[in-house]
Structures are given as structure tokens and as C-alpha cells.
Amino acid sequence: MSKLILITGGAGFIGSHLADELLGRGHRVRVLDALVSQVHGEDAVRPAYLHPDVELRVGDVLDPRAVDEALVGVDAVYHLAAMVGVGQSMYRISDYTAVNNEGTAVLLEALSRRPVGRLVVASSMSIYGEGLYRPPSGPLVPGRLRTLDRLKARRWELADHDGRPLVPVATPESKPPELASVYALSKFDQERLCLIVGQAYGIPAVALRFFNVYGPRQALSNPYTGVLAIFASRLLNGLPPPVFEDGLQRRDFVNVRDVARACALALEAPRAAGRVINIGSGRHQTIRGVAERLASVLGRPHIGPEITQRHRAGDIRHCFADISLARELLGFSPKVEFDAGLADLASWLEGRITPDRAEEAGRELAERGLTV
């Protein structure tokens, strides 16, 4: 049965792919998006990649009137509108808290007056902080944030009380949150607000914790989010991608097309209501290895990553997804292999000219004492 579905932040990277997926399943799609300059450029207009059948309403999720009007006749909501990026959140604290926390509150107040059949909120793996680890002996343990002394000594890996290394393992939803950045805190607030208010007003709500999403349409001009987009911007300008620490930290890179499909599955899955669910690839890559593979795919294998041996405030060492629950509750299995996804990204990047703002962002963080 066709539904009218609202996507907040739907003109962006993930939202536009989700719109394609929903349209392909026979639904109608309305988007509320502020078209912010950091993502869409200074002279922001409707993105060319946004499907022509999408009804775009330019408006701010912080504007109660815009949100109310966008909800008229809507059957379900995907809440993707957010400021994104760990590093920037550590100094634009008010902006991140306003958009992510207050913006969600504005939406939920409107939904309390206009309940819908399903609310899906985009959450983040950043909530976990460090992932789950296996000690030399005994049960699995949650990773704890590294001390400043260890970071200054360039002792990047986590260890037990006796100094023995801990081995990272896939992180399930049961791992307690360890909120290491303002961004992580705001995403945790977003998911809890949606689940609490959803339960109170009879709105089946689902929080999807996205891991490192990559693919076409990622904002190349934003130096604070999407490590592959940041690396691509540098490589396209003939410059080495900056890699924090030693580059051996592990992440789970999941293709945006898989993420869009997972979101669509969450619309109907009855047992997903009230749950928090990881959305990742179920595999992990080192950041250094990803930089090298992207350089090769873009035809620039001679440009190696710049290993900074520095730590950025809010960053963690290892975290990658256990996606057992997504398989069980959503019937989700990732389909896009990483190399195929990189090739698709490279094809989209071909011929693009993009400003490189990574050095500017790095200076901003350093001047504020947010790197060690």
C-alpha cells in the first residue's frame, strides 16, 4: 500500500538515496531540508540528484510551522536532519545541540499532535565510543576511552590493567554507550527522545545506528564528516589524505545503497518497533588501508596517506558492527562489496572539482587544542 513519507534532511547524502528506495517501492516522498551551505554550497538549490518525483520543502527542522506543514497527510517519518561530524561538534557545541537535540524535540512535539504509523530516526555508531573487546582471558569487555597520557605517548591500542593488548570484536547493540563527543551525545539524545515519545504517543519508533556510510552524493566540501569523502577531496586535488594516529584503527564501512535498503525495511518490520539496531557491513577495514585503496581506485596510487601520529578529540580506536539483530529483525543483509562500492564512488567522482578544506579544518582543531 502506497504511503506518503516525510524525510527530514532528505535532500542530503543518505536521504536522497532513501527517497529513491522508497519511490521504487511505490511510496510517495516529501522532503523537508534546510539546504545548509556546508553540505549543499553557498548558492544552495534543489540538488540535481534528488529524484524529480520527490516533493521538496525548503525549511528548517527548528521551525515549528515548517515542520507542522510538512507533516500534513504524512503516514511515516524518517528523521535524518542533523549536523554531522565528531570534530566540528567539539567547538560548534551550541549549533550541534540546537539542530540535533532541539530540532528533534520540535519534530516530536509536532508528532504528538499528528501521530504517524512509524518513525525511524538515524542514529550513529559514535554512541558506542570504543567498541567491544576480547581480553587475554575472561569475558568480553567494553572498550574504555583512552587516557590523555596514553594518547600523548602515542600508545594507541587499548590494554588491560596489566598492559596486555585487548583485541577488538564486533560491537552489538547491548554494548553500553560511551559518549566521547558532543555529536555522540546529541545522537544518543535523538534516539532516546524518539523512542520515549514514540512509546508515549503510540508511534512505533525505530533507531538505526549507522556505521561509516559511504557512496555517491556524499558532500565533498564538508571536511568534518565522511572520511571517504574527505580522502577523495584530497586525492582529487593531488594531496595526501590525512590519517589520524597510525591509521590502523578499524571501522565498518557500509554502502549508502545498503543503508537506504535497511531504512526501507525498518518501515514495515513489526518487531523493530521500540528497538535500536546496528546498520553496517559486518566487516572492518583499517583507515590507512581504506585511504590506500581509494587512491588506487582513483588512479592515484602514488599518493600515500599522511599518517599524522596525532589524536583528534572525540575519536575512538576501534568500532565495527555486529549486524545480527538487523538480520533477525529487518531481514537485512548488506549486498554491496567494499571494492565494488569504491568503484561506484570513483565513477561518480570522475571529473568533479571540489575545494579541499581538510587543512583548514585541521588548523581549526589544532588551534582549539582538540588534537594531541
- Rg of the chain over CA atoms, in angstroms? 20
Look up residue 41 and give its three cell numbers: 554550497
Rounded CA gap, 16 and 40, in Å? Answer: 13
Active site residue 183: yes
How many CA atoms does the CB half-sphere of 256 hold within 13 Å? 21
Is-contact 144 166, C-beta < 8 A? no
- CB-CB neighbours of 260 under 10 Å: 22
Q: Catalytic residue among 183, 201, 214, 224, which?
A: 183
Is-contact 123 206, C-beta < 8 A? no
- CB-CB neighbours of 81 under 10 Å: 28
How buried is 117 (Cβ within 10 angstroms: 0-12 exposed, 13-18 middle, 19+ buried)?
Answer: middle
Strand 318-319 relative to strand 250-251, pairing: parallel
DSSP 272: G
Is-contact 96 83, C-beta < 8 A? yes
Please list, in sequence order, all residues whose beta carbon lies within 8 angstroms of the beta carbon of residue 24, skipping any fewer than 6 positions away: none
Q: Catalytic residues, which ones?
A: 183
